[in-house]
Amino acid sequence: MDAAKWDKQAGDYQRVFESGISEYNRRLLDFLLGSGMLRPGCRVLDVGCGVGKYGSYFAALGCDVTLNDISAEMLRRAGENMKPFTTPWRTVLGDFLTLEAPALAPAGPFDLSISTMSPAIRDLATVKKLSSLTHGWCLVTNFVSWSQPLRDRFYSSLGYEPAQSMAGGLDSIGELEQAVALAGYRPNLRYEDYNWQDERRAEEAARYLIRRHPAMDEEDPELFKRAVETAAGLCDDKGIFLDRVFTKVAWLSWKTKEED
pLDDT for position 215: 92
Question: Is 70 exceeded by the pLDDT of residue 164?
Answer: no
List the domains of the chain with CATH numbers. 3-145+167-195+247-255 (3.40.50.150)
When the pLDDT of each residue in the chain is averaged and rounded to a whole number, the result is 94
Tens digits of residue pLDDT in 182-230 = 999 999 999 999 999 999 999 999 999 999 898 999 899 999 999 999 9
Tens digits of residue pLDDT in 77-120 = 999 999 999 999 999 999 999 999 999 999 999 999 999 999 99
| 78 CB-near residues (< 8 Å, 6+ apart) | 49, 50, 51, 52, 55, 67, 69, 91
Helix (H, G, I), strand (E, B) or coil at 71: coil
Which residues are registered as beta bridge partners of 134?
110
CA distance 97 to 92: 13
Phi, psi values for residue 119, rounded to 5°: -80, 5
CA distance readout (Å), 44 to 58, 85, 87, 150, 201 = 8, 15, 12, 37, 38
Residue 153 binned pLDDT confidence (cut-offs 50, 70, 90): very high
pLDDT for position 74: 98
Smallest CA-to-CA distance from 43 within 66, 72, 16, 18 is with 66
Amino acid at 74: M
Average pLDDT over residues 163-186: 79
CA distance 180 to 161: 33
23: left (phi over 0), alpha (psi -120 to 50) or beta: alpha
Amino acid at 141: T
